[in-house]
Structure 1
Amino acid sequence: MSAAVPTARAGTPPPLQRGWRDACGKLLDIINYVIFSPEASAVVMPVLVAWECVLLKLIVKHVPYTEIDYLAYMEQIWQINNGERDYSKIEGGTGPLVYPAGHVLIHRVLERATDGLQNVARGQDIFTWLYLLTLVLQFGVYRLLRLPPWCIVLACLSKRLHSVYVLRLFNDGWTTLMMVATVLLLLLAARRPGLCLPAALTYSAAVSIKMNALLYLPGILVAVFLLTRGRVVTLMLCAAVAIAWQVLVAADFLSAHPAAYLATAFDFSRQFMYRWSVNWQLVSEQVFSHPTFHRGLLLSHITVLMLFFFTRYAAPRQPSWLRTAVAALRHPATPALSAVPSAAHIAYVLLVSNFIGVLFARSLHYQFLAWYHWTLPALLHWSRMPCALALLWYALHELCWDAYPPSSVASTTLHGLNSALLLLLYVNGPPA
């Protein structure tokens, strides 16, 4: 008597079809994990660093270096090396020296490394490592914030940013390195408050290279206040560390011509060139240069900062800022807050403060993209845009920065994109 042959149950797919379905399902799970799971960043980040190493070498090898400001930096350093200490008399081919003494310190080292302009290729190698070191620190920030991989990848997609670093050798990358280090230290300070002191040092170093780091200052003050639970004494100690670095790095110039140094290195009235303004081609050059326009931008900047300060920056369950400030001033060595907010809340305060400053900046030149590009992955994640919409936002934003020469269409689009992102950041508030 022969054994009965098993038959497939009605409606059940055959084994081969089930196998394909299971394989496709697992593949989709893997793809979903790699794109959306924060845990996958441990795999994605090393791959991106390796990719950037190769890409930067290819860019340097195949795309010609373009001289814009590096010669002027060297001309200014040569005058300083020859003994000039009056900041008002130090200038290069593109104009006077308008950067603080941290810039001078770095470029004196670079002048030796590149033998002036004789070995620019070595300078490009240095800036390649600068880009990669900054990227690794960025990834440390993203890891703490648990960003999904699709956001992290955006940090490596800017054509303009690669150019700013290894094809132009602008000084903005050095400020960005110090600012990323500062943000990373302050996020770690959510568990180790003592890290606020080294963060004050790296922040002061950033300001001493280029003043754009001052856009973070409102966020820095709020973040340190929250991280130290409102201890005014600790806040003042951090301020003392920051001031000490400014005095130390500029000692040669402050001892010789202090007024000239302060007036030139921290000149807030400096005029920018309209033709290179990426963000304000939508207004005429006459409007762009008018003091009333500048005052309007400053007032708008302060107004939006105050809006975020009073409605978004306070820690969860924190009393009103007025009550907190009164308690902190009455007992400056005693905590005025019951708890330290999360690292994500601190990051929101810092990055949004800078982004507000960028939105209302008097001018954004091409190299200024380095000021805030590294923050876009976090800002887009906090905006809660769907992934596809966020990628479209990023692509349009990059097109605005790649447009050459700057145009009114690109400027208008850039303002629309950044304004929409800031609105979403306000509506959604700080991450939990």
Structure 2
Amino acid sequence: MALRSPPKSKAIQKPGSTFQKLLKNPQVPFALALLFADAILVGLIIAYVPYTKIDWDAYMSQVTGFLEGERDYGNLKGDTGPLVYPAGFLYIYSALQHVTRGQVYPAQILFGLLYIVNLAIVLSIYVKTSVVPWWALSLLALSKRVHSIFVLRLFNDCFATTFLHAALFFLLKQKWHLGLIIFSAAVSVKMNVLLYAPALLILMLQAMDVFGVISALAGAALVQILLGLPFLLTHPVAYLSKAFNLGRVFIHFWSVNFKFVPEPTFISREFAVALLVAHLGLLTVFAHYRWCRHEGGLPSLLRLKIAELSSFSMTRFYCTSSTTKLLRTEYIATTMFVGNFIGIVCARSLHYQFYSWYFYSLPYLLWKTPFPTLLRLTLFVVVELCWNVYPSNVYSSLLLLVVHLVVLGGLWTASLGNPYADDPNSRLTAKKKQP
């Protein structure tokens, strides 16, 4: 008679096993500790560092006009000039005025909370991608300028940046439609978020079929329409021309980059066109040789989508399943951050608050380069120093451009991987849409 083998008992987890796992991958506990420490630092800054009056009063004046019933963007003005931000800005700062009654100190507390929320989202992105070593996460909390932008200046860039990072968080989870909605909300606060748009479009084309791309873009467009509706129904030309003005000329004095360019050249149309050509050229080169390399280049990807579009019909759109492919989280974050960084390199003017547009991606980008760690840290420190020179000068702005170009060159030479997840079941079929 054969003897039965005794049932296998579940492995008993030793008390020290969890601790050992944390030692092997201490990113999560370190991120939590960093978040706690930075929260204390933010509280100390609010309590002891004097607030710097820049744009808050102007924001409150613009919001007051809106709350009093003004719907013509040409008439919404503040101490710093006319309103130049989309409607999402008005709703957010109207809420802030209601809660704080226009007072700075309670607004600083709210912005301190916003800073912590944003940092938590960024840390979750870093932990999920595992590109940066755990100790280098501390770089995200070491910027004097970024702390100032959030809790001592109260700029709307803070909300745009936080929404953008929230959108990226959901994109990493392959939630494309939700990510696009939050991305559109970020654009409604400040247009600089559109610097991410070309890279985001490439990712959408790679991850979704043309039907999914169309529906996601439609959702993003609907957000803009709904938020701008009070102005689009009354003074559409004024709203579109003011809130989405792509031809603004910034003041040379406030530029942190290109300060070494003589002011007549800086404000010239020729300089603006040259930077635009460089921007589009770099995006095209990166898209063709880097982001779309797996598909055989940018034209191949576009041809595939054009073929899908040619067979598009509303009947098929409603009655057929749409498909998506899983992209690697590291690839999504890298493409988004690099696409934005190209825009930063080619931006005609970067004001001090604009540092928040790309600071949180800087450690990630540096660790994507093949540079040694010492050089990465040196470049990080130099960028931070350049952003803390006030007013910027010929040397600090030229040095900043050189560092930007070095980082961009490192990103170009970085190793490439398959953008798609290795899981053989990575091709997902979405639920059938109901007619």
Asked if 1:273 is matched to 2:259, the reply is: no
SS of alignment partner, residue 312 of structure 1: helix
Q: Which residue of 1 aligns with 2:225?
A: 247
Would the aligned equivalents of 1:348 and 1:430 in 2 still touch at CA under 8 Å?
no
Does the 8 Å contact 2:363/2:380 carry over to 1? no
Contact 2:205 2:305 in 1 (8 A): no
Listed as ranges, the gaps of 5+ residues in structure 1 are 1-29, 190-194
SS at match of 1:278: coil
Taking only the aligned residue pairs, the percentage that are identical comes to: 36
Q: Using the alignment, how far apart are the partners of 1:291 and 1:319 within structure 2?
A: 36
Deviation by residue 1:196-236 (Cα, 9 ceiling, x = unmatched): 011110110011100000100101101111122xx011101
In 2, the alpha carbon distance for the partners of 1:382 and 1:165 equals 27
User: Between Structure 1 and Structure 2, how many residues are aligned?
Assistant: 388
1:90 has 2:68 as partner: no
> Which of the residues 291, 294, 310 maps onto 1:313?
291
Separation in structure 2 between the aligned mates of residue 313 and residue 97 of structure 1, nearest angstrom: 37
2:302 matched residue in structure 1 = 325
Offset at residue 276 of structure 1 (A): 0.6
Preserved CA contact (<8 Å) 2:177 2:216: yes
CA distance in 1, matches of 2:241, 2:266: 23
The residue number in structure 2 matching 1:158 is 143
Shift of 1:430: 4.2
Asked if the contact 2:212–2:322 (Cα under 8 Å) also holds between the matched residues in 1, the reply is no
Deviations along 1:142-170, one digit per CA (max 9) or x if unpaired, are 01110212331111110000000000101
Whole-Å separation in 2 of the counterparts to 1:85 and 1:430: 50
User: In the alignment, is residue 59 of structure 1 matched against residue 37 of structure 2?
Assistant: no
- Residue type of the alignment partner of 1:110: L
8 Å CA contact retained: 1:41, 1:143: yes
CA-based RMSD: 1.9
Runs of 5+ consecutive residues of structure 2 not aligned to the other structure: 1-18, 310-316, 419-435
One-letter identity of the residue aligned with 2:245: D
Give SS of 1:331's match.
helix
Quote the residue 2:159 is aligned against: 174
Give 1:265 deviation, angstroms. Answer: 0.3
Give TM-score, length-normalised by structure 2: 0.86
1:44–1:149 CA contact under 8 A, matched in 2: yes
User: 1:126 and 2:103 equivalent?
Assistant: no
- Quick check: 1:151–1:378 contact (8 Å CA) kept in 2? no
Cα distance in structure 2, aligned partners of 1:377 and 1:430: 19
The answer to whether the 8 A contact 1:97-1:265 is kept is yes
For 1:220, the aligned partner's letter is L
- Structure 1: distance between partners of 2:324 and 2:370: 30
Q: Structure 1 CA distance, aligned partners of 2:407 and 2:285?
A: 16
Q: Among 190, 209, 216, which residue is 1:210 paired with?
A: 190
CA distance in 2, matches of 1:56, 1:308: 38
1:409 aligned to 378, 395, 399, which one? 395
**Partner SS state of residue 209, structure 1:** coil
Q: What does 1:292-371 align with in structure 2 at a 5 Å threshold?
A: 292-314=270-292, 316=294, 318-332=295-309, 339-371=325-357
- Say if 2:370 and 2:413, in contact at 8 Å, map to a contact too: no
User: Do 1:226 and 1:340's aligned partners in 2 also have CA atoms closer than 8 Å?
Assistant: no
In structure 2, C-alpha distance between the alignment counterparts of 1:398 and 1:335, rounded to whole Å:
48
CA distance in 2, matches of 1:335, 1:422: 40
Whichever residue aligns with residue 141 of structure 1, its letter is I
Structure 1 position 321, deviation (Å): 3.2
CA distance in 1, matches of 2:328, 2:247: 37
Please point out which of 241, 252, 255 is paired with 1:263.
241
Q: Which runs of 4+ in 1 moved over 2 A?
A: 318-341, 429-432
